Chains A and B, each alone.
Chain A
Amino acid sequence: GQQVMQIPQYQHVQEGEDFTTYCNSSTTLSNIQWYKQRPGGHPVFLIQLVKSGEVKKQKRLTFQFGEAKKNSSLHITATQTTDVGTYFCAGRSINQGGKLIFGQGTELSVKP
């Protein structure tokens, strides 16, 4: 079945450093979504990418969708303590009925 792999599992950074998490799918995706889950909270939708090679920005966050639509990345520039949480990618396969499959998540901690 479809798998969505996300690395790294954990990332500890000093405040002000950059952070990147990577997402890879075993199958071609119709679209990919990113969610953030704060400690003790629930996943909250951040953004969706649909087009091959698409790049979207939200302030210090940059999201990319690969040309082959099988991988994606989230990059945070100059992390802040408010960025702490787990970032999940979630992809919809073009071959498996469109169900949303989540990656394992990358847990980000930021030291002030």
Chain B
Amino acid sequence: ETGVTQTPRHLVMGMTNKKSLKCEQHLGHNAMYWYKQSAKKPLELMFVYSLEERVENNSVPSRFSPECPNSSHLFLHLHTLQPEDSALYLCASSQTWTGVTEAFFGQGTRLTVV
């Protein structure tokens, strides 16, 4: 148990569906992240939030929409996804988003787009 909880653990959705991934951290951290992990690829940083403000957006397609209502919760809203979006989506948090702080990862949501 890392203190970062992601739901659901597995998700299968059609290309016309709308779904949301949820992440909650109980560590009192100020920064939260979404990473995408595809087979044979490095972890791709998607979004970074610091104190509920988005500080990084790495050219992610608009079909992925993040939301950070407070410093403990992070959502990733999904709509009209493509099969190539199938991947493991990992949420992480850290004390701050810069400096010498380690990242704590959730267990991930395994997303399959059909």
Which residues does A use to contact B, with CB under 8 Å?
4, 6, 30-31, 33, 35, 41-45, 48, 50, 88, 90, 92, 97-105
B102 CB–A CB distance under 8 Å:
yes
> Is B45's CB under 8 angstroms from A99's CB?
yes
B74 CB–A CB distance under 8 Å:
no
Q: A31-B100, A97-B56 are in contact. List 20 more A-B contacts (CB 8 A).
A: A4-B42, A30-B99, A33-B103, A41-B107, A42-B2, A42-B90, A42-B105, A42-B106, A44-B105, A45-B102, A45-B103, A50-B100, A88-B43, A90-B103, A97-B55, A98-B97, A99-B56, A99-B98, A100-B103, A104-B42
Q: In the complex, what residue of chain B is closest to A97 when comparing beta carbons?
A: B98
Which residues does B use to contact A, with CB under 8 Å?
2, 35, 41-43, 45, 48, 55-56, 90, 97-100, 102-108
A90 to B99, CA, bound (A): 13
Q: Which 4 A-B pairs have the closest CB atoms?
A: A98-B98, A102-B43, A104-B42, A45-B102
Contacts of A31 in B (CB 8 A): 100
Cβ-defined partner of A101 (8 Å) among B45, B99, B100: B45
29 pairs of residues in contact across A and B, judged by CB atoms under 8 Å = A30-B99, A33-B102, A35-B103, A42-B105, A42-B108, A43-B43, A43-B90, A43-B105, A44-B2, A48-B100, A48-B102, A50-B100, A88-B42, A90-B43, A97-B55, A97-B56, A97-B98, A98-B98, A99-B45, A99-B48, A99-B56, A101-B45, A102-B42, A102-B43, A103-B42, A104-B41, A104-B42, A105-B42, A105-B43
A5 to B2, CA, bound (A): 27
A30 to B97, CA, bound (A): 13
Contacts of A35 in B (CB 8 A): 103
Contacts of A42 in B (CB 8 A): 2, 90, 105-108
> Is A100's CB under 8 angstroms from B45's CB?
yes
A41 to B1, CA, bound (A): 12
